[in-house]
Amino acid sequence: MINLSEIFQILPLLIIGAGILLSLVLEMYSKQSEKVLPWISVFLFIIAGIYSLFSINETRMIVFHNMLSVGGNTHVFYFIFNIGAALVCLLSIDYIKKYGTYYGEYYILVQSSVLGMMLMAGAKDLLVIFMGLEIMSVSFYVLAGLNRKRLSANEASLKYFLLGAFATGFVVYGIALIYGSAQTTSLEVITAKFSALSTNLLFIVGVLLFLVGFSFKIAAFPFHMWVPDVYQGSPTTIAGLFSTGGKAAAFSSIIITLIAIFSNSAQNVFAPYLAVIATLSMLFGSIVAIAQDNIKRMLAYSSISHAGYLTIGLAAGNQDGVAGIIFYLAAYTFMNLGAFGIVAMIEGEAESNLTISSYAGLSSRKPLLAAMLALFMFSLAGIPPFAGFFGKYYVFIAAIKSDLTWLAIVGVFSSAISVYFYLRIVVLMYFKELSSELTLFESKTGLIAVIISSILVILLGIFPGSILQLITNFM
């Protein structure tokens, strides 16, 4: 039975879980819920995020009959999810007004998706991963189509639901085969038996199916087809959450399931598969993004190529790889949310101002926004001294250490291609004439969120070593 002291070990999960119930009650009984709910969500996310940050050094343990892990990198992930979601809520306050009808479920669903992500990152059992995945995905399907009167939102939601359900099928089948070969769903036991299991064909097929399912969720190349349409159709702030929180949660699940391959790279029998996925995603994302006219679609293809860079860390299969992935995810979350946040602030009513040409001459109208968008674009392109550079650097170093130099070279090549479409926006903003028909909306809370993410991107870029050290300590 449940030990009472164990319950307080999972305080971040409890805060968000209680927050969902509180928000539901408020949404039912309060007429002011539209004004109150976003601030309650932001408050809860910040409390949970800060608590996770300060409890990183607490003793790491596994609670609830080997179901959930506490402390260490689990809390690093909790921090990433919660602060990311807090930024999304801050951005949404003004965005939702111009997007159309307000639905109270918006913030409740953001909270429940974060709860799902936290379960995925904290899981020590395959079934907990599955439960977290479903909580997150079902909230995402609804969030994508929240504006049910808009045709593109319906398309996004349906596409995401059908392909997401398909992907979940792969994950469950993979879990079934892993259970069949290992006779357990406990990740502790699977990790302990990994070297014996990695010669078992049934186990390898199971893990590959599991990886295929999660490749949908991280938007890696052969399973990426939903990404551009879903990002384009769903609310811009929510697209930011899909590309950061959703991706980080899926990577956290892959890492904790395959944690054994990072301690002994001889066990990494999946390296060829992962290397192919990484190569194709990087090149495909970078090359197709060049042809995009819509900035949300461009960011969607950029998200595919970033999934590729992150997969390099998995293919490398060493301690540097996993630390690099976690650092990269933190950096990517803040820089991509910042970019999506500025897109959400520039976007007008009824999906206007979303073409790349509408950014022409932005620097003379909104110098601060233009400067920050330029910062995020430099960071996404991987130009020092911003966070994105060090993320890529650590992942490439990990690849070189496991004799995958060719993969690192492909990565550098692909980021050189990506510089073109990232910097095109900077060039448009600073060196082109102002487009006159642009009507801009003011958003103070959105501005605060974007400033916070730009500060975090700069901080991660200035002190990458100490943060990486923190992550490595918990391996």
Partner 1 sequence: MLEQYLPVFIVLGIAIVFGVATVLSSIIFGPQRPTTEKLSTYESGMKPVGTTKERVSIKYYLIAMLFIIFDLEVIFVYPWAVQFKKLFHEFGISVFISMFIFLVIFEIGYLYVYKKGGFKWD
Beta strand extents in 36-90 (DSSP E only): 61-63, 68-70
281: its two tokens: 């995603």
Distances (CA, A) of 441 to 92, 97, 434: 13, 10, 16
The answer for 286, left when phi > 0, alpha when psi is -120 to 50, beta otherwise, is alpha
In contact, 372 and 312? CB cutoff 8 Å: no
Nearest CB to partner 1, comparing residues 2 and 266: 2
- Output 63 or 314, the one with its CB closest to partner 1: 63
Give me the least distance between CB of 28 and partner 1, in Å please: 4
* Helix boundaries (H) for 382-463: 387-401, 405-431, 444-462
Token digits of residue 395: 């992942």
Cα separations in angstroms, 197 against 79, 90, 315? 33, 46, 19
- Tokens matching residue 31: 């007429």
Which residue, 27 or 320, is less far from partner 1 as judged by CB?
27
In whole angstroms, the minimum distance from the beta carbon of 370 to partner 1 comes to 42
Distance, CA of 107 to CA of 23 (rounded, Å): 8
What is each CA distance from 465 to 334, 387, 391, 394, 470, in whole angstroms? 18, 11, 11, 10, 9
Which CB sits closer to partner 1, 148 or 444?
Answer: 148
Cis bond leading into 385, ω under 30°? yes
Closest CA to 330 of 472, 468, 129: 468
Q: Taking the complex as a whole, how short is the minimal distance between the CB of residue 25 and partner 1, in angstroms?
A: 6
- Pick 1 or 350: Cβ nearer partner 1: 1
Nearest to partner 1 of 149, 439 (CB atom): 149
Token pair, residue 265, equals: 């790279």
The least distance separating partner 1 from the CB of residue 29, rounded to whole angstroms, comes to: 8
What tokens does 285 get?
Answer: 């994302």
CA distance 256 to 134: 17
Tell me how far apart the alpha carbons of residues 53 and 346 are, in angstroms, rounded to a whole number. 32
In whole angstroms, the minimum distance from the beta carbon of 282 to partner 1 comes to 39
Q: How far is the CB of 142 from partner 1 (least distance, A)?
A: 13
Q: 457 near 87, Cβ under 8 Å?
A: no
Q: Which is nearer to partner 1, 24 or 269 (CB)?
A: 24
Q: Which is nearer to partner 1, 68 or 312 (CB)?
A: 68
Smallest distance from the beta carbon of 2 to partner 1, in angstroms? Answer: 7
CB 351 within 8 A of CB 152: yes
The first and second tokens of residue 105, run together, are: 């479920």
Nearer residue to partner 1 within complex by CB, 21 or 434:
21
Q: Cβ 74 to partner 1, closest distance in Å?
A: 24
**Number of helices and strands in the chain (H, E):** 23, 2
Least distance from partner 1 to the Cβ atom of residue 48, Å: 19
What residues make contact with partner 1 under the rule CB under 8 A? 1-2, 4, 21, 24-25, 27-29
Q: Least CB distance from residue 138 to partner 1, whole Å?
A: 12
